[in-house]
Amino acid sequence: MHTRFLVLGNLLGRSRLGRTAVSLAYGYPHGDARVIVDGLAYHSPVMLSAGFDYNARIISILPSLGFGGVEVGSVTARASAGNKSPQLVRLPRSKSILVNKGLKNDGVDAIIPRILAARIPDDFVIGVSVARTNDSAAADENEGIADYCYSLKALSKAGAGRYYTLNISCPNSFTGELFSTPPALDRLLTVVDVLALARPLYVKLPISLPWEDLRLLVDVIRAHRVAGVIVGNLHKDHALLAEGERSHGRQGGISGAPCRETSTELIKKIRATVAFTIIGCGGVFSPEHAREKLRAGADLIQLITGMIYEGPGLIADIARDYANSPLV
């Protein structure tokens, strides 16, 4: 189903007629829910999270659905076929998806031209999530840092993307979350600082860590040239799933409803600690769920699983709710 959606979205996004038809069916009037974050203007506060359009195939159709932006990727320095199938398993009783894609993507050099070719309005923001290639060549810390930097340099040189995210928290990659400890993250960000990127930079955080450990990562982040954080990535605790849908040894992180409360609580705690940008991600299935995250301190919302279960009309519903009554 994911593949079919990408094929259809790519086809519709190529023509003005296709984009107009989708906008009439699912879109939201231009500008009514516009927000500005870190100097970037978003058509609405709702973004498509990284992990869906990982190869930058459907960017052009997304504004017609009411999205204010998309986070492409995660992209890596080298192409990766990802993990063995099944890479995605639908868990309807839990309103979740078991994700074990393993950073499947065509590699940054192949994806950059697609980003540059996207047909988008000025108030639609393309961000790019950057991760470490899922192979043995990027398995140690120094190789991993070089891998991140290759992608960031390539994107920056090409002018592709209006912000970048360091995905340090993908639970499905070779050697795991190499940079999710404070010393390792500090070393990565110290090198990235030197790149002097001309785009806002965010860090996507894990949500399975205890707050005491996550706060240490936030303390590291605030000491570097980082505009904010995304809270957060897939949850590792399969006990949160409905009985009968627990994975019984299957690999992967879980998305959607099981992440909602955890991500919202972490947003509250991080907002009480820092003043930088927070993008809320995890379990948004309704305008009220979006309100919860914005009230907790998020500046923008990202989603994937909510759209899959509730349909693409969810994006316009959230934008309409945001425009008609302030969420914060």
Instruction: Look up residue 95 and give its two tokens.
Output: 């309103």
Q: What percent of the chain has pLDDT over 90?
A: 61
Does the pLDDT of residue 213 top 70, yes or no? yes
Residue pLDDT, tens place only, 46-99? 999 999 999 999 898 899 889 999 999 899 999 988 888 788 888 999 899 898
Number of domains the chain is built from:
1
- H helices of 118-196, where? 141-158, 182-195
Listed range (20-24, 205-209, 291-295) with the worst mean pLDDT = 20-24
> Which pLDDT score is estimated for 25?
76
> Which pLDDT score is estimated for 197?
95
Taken in order 208, 214, 220, 223, is the CA torsion positive or negative? positive
- Domain range enclosing 8: 2-323
Residue pLDDT, tens place only, 143-192? 889 999 999 999 999 999 999 999 987 665 555 567 889 999 999 999 99
> Which pLDDT score is estimated for 82?
81
Residue 252 pLDDT grade (very low, low, confident, very high; cuts 50, 70, 90): confident
- The domain that holds 97 is classified in CATH as 3.20.20.70
Q: Residue 219: inside a domain, yes or no?
A: yes
Nearest to 30 by CA among 120, 96, 131, 154: 120
> Which pLDDT score is estimated for 6?
72
Q: Residue 11: inside a domain, yes or no?
A: yes
Mean pLDDT value of segment 133-149: 82
> Which pLDDT score is estimated for 138?
60
Instruction: Look up residue 167 and give its two tokens.
Output: 């995905």
Question: Which run of H or E residues covers position 89?
Answer: strand 88-91
Q: Residue 180: inside a domain, yes or no?
A: yes
> Which pLDDT score is estimated for 175?
56
For the chain, give the mean pLDDT: 89
Does the pLDDT of residue 122 top 60, yes or no? yes
Q: Which long-range contacts (CB under 8 A, 24 or more apart) does 302-305 make?
A: 302/46, 302/47, 302/48, 302/49, 302/50, 302/71, 302/230, 303/46, 303/47, 303/48, 303/49, 304/48, 304/49, 304/51, 304/52, 304/255, 305/95, 305/96, 305/97, 305/255, 305/256, 305/257
> Which pLDDT score is estimated for 86?
80
End-to-end, the C-alpha distance of the chain in Å comes to 35
> Which pLDDT score is estimated for 71?
97
Q: Residue 313: inside a domain, yes or no?
A: yes
Q: Residue 328: inside a domain, yes or no?
A: no
Listed range (33-42, 222-231, 238-247, 279-288) with the worst mean pLDDT = 238-247
Instruction: Look up residue 217 and give its two tokens.
Output: 């990562």
Helix, strand, or coil (residue 51): coil
Residue pLDDT, tens place only, 7-54? 666 666 677 887 787 777 777 776 688 899 999 999 999 999 999 999
> Which pLDDT score is estimated for 248?
63
